[in-house]
């Protein structure tokens, strides 16, 4: 079965990203396909490569990157939500005249159309948020 995942909250403050991670991981382990993980609202903050959590805590964005690499997942940050919150890939940083990009490996920036497309492609769309 094909799943689409929508995450509406950032890491650490809310449990949404953790819940979504465990769900996604369990779905993939069960042999299901995840067509896309889409990050919206503060959820785009999951895509930063600059977070430095304490050693004894999980690194939420690294964990997503690793899962993405293992299963060849599409991890998409909404471009409008990301620009508002200062999540930029190299192209966006250059275009906006900013001095650096901060996106974690495996994440991509794209439009909201990718969320609608996930809803169309997937058999199930599940929303994690607050």
Partner 1 sequence: MSVLHIVNKSPFDRNSLDSCLRLAKADSPILLIEDGIYAVQKNTAAAERMQQALSTHSVYALRSDLQARGINPDNIIDGISLVDYDGFVELTTEHDKLQSWL
Partner 2 sequence: MASKKFLYVNRKAPHGSIYAQESLEVVLIGAAFEQDVTLAFVDDGVYQLMQNQDTGGIGAKNFAPTFRALGDYDVSQIYVERESLEMRGLSKEDLMPLTYEDEDDDWAEKDSIHVVSSDELADIIEQQDVILNF
75, β-bridge pairs = 37, 107
Among 8, 17, 46, 65, binds partner 2 (CB under 8 A): 8
Distance CA 27, CA 3 (A): 8
50 binds partner 2 (CB under 8 A): no
Both tokens assigned to 117: 């497309």
Place of tokens 């650490």: 12
Residue 125's region, left for phi above 0, alpha for psi from -120 to 50, else beta, is: beta
Distance CA 44, CA 103 (A): 10
Q: Give the helix/strand (H/E) hosting 19.
A: helix 16-29
Site string for partner 2, 73-102 (x = CB under 8 A): -------xx---------------------
Among 25, 71, 110, 129, binds partner 2 (CB under 8 A): 129
Q: Which residues bind partner 1 (CB under 8 A)?
A: 1, 3, 8, 15-16, 19, 22-23, 25-27, 29-30, 32, 123-130
Among 5, 22, 40, 87, binds partner 2 (CB under 8 A): 40
The residues that are catalytic are: 78
Residue 48, SS3 per DSSP: strand
Question: Residue 120 binds which entry of partner 1, partner 2, none, with Cβ cut-offs from 5 to 8 Å by kind?
Answer: partner 2
Residues of this chain that interact with partner 2 (CB under 8 A) are: 6, 8, 40-41, 80-81, 111-113, 115-117, 119-120, 125, 127, 129
């Amino acid at each position: 079965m094909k799943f689409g995942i929508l995450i509406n909250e950032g890491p650490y403050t809310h449990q949404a990203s953790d819940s979504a991670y465990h769900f996604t991981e369990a779905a993939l382990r069960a042999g299901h396909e995840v067509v896309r993980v889409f990050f919206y609202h503060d959820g785009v903050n999951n895509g930063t490569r600059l977070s430095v959590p304490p050693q004894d805590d999980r690194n939420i964005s690294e964990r997503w990157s690793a899962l993405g690499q293992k299963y060849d997942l599409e991890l998409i940050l909404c471009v409008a939500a990301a620009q508002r919150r200062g999540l930029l890939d190299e192209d966006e940083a250059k275009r906006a005249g900013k001095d650096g990009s901060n996106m974690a490996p495996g994440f991509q920036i794209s439009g909201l159309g990718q969320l609608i497309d996930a809803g169309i492609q997937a058999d199930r769309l599940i929303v994690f948020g607050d």
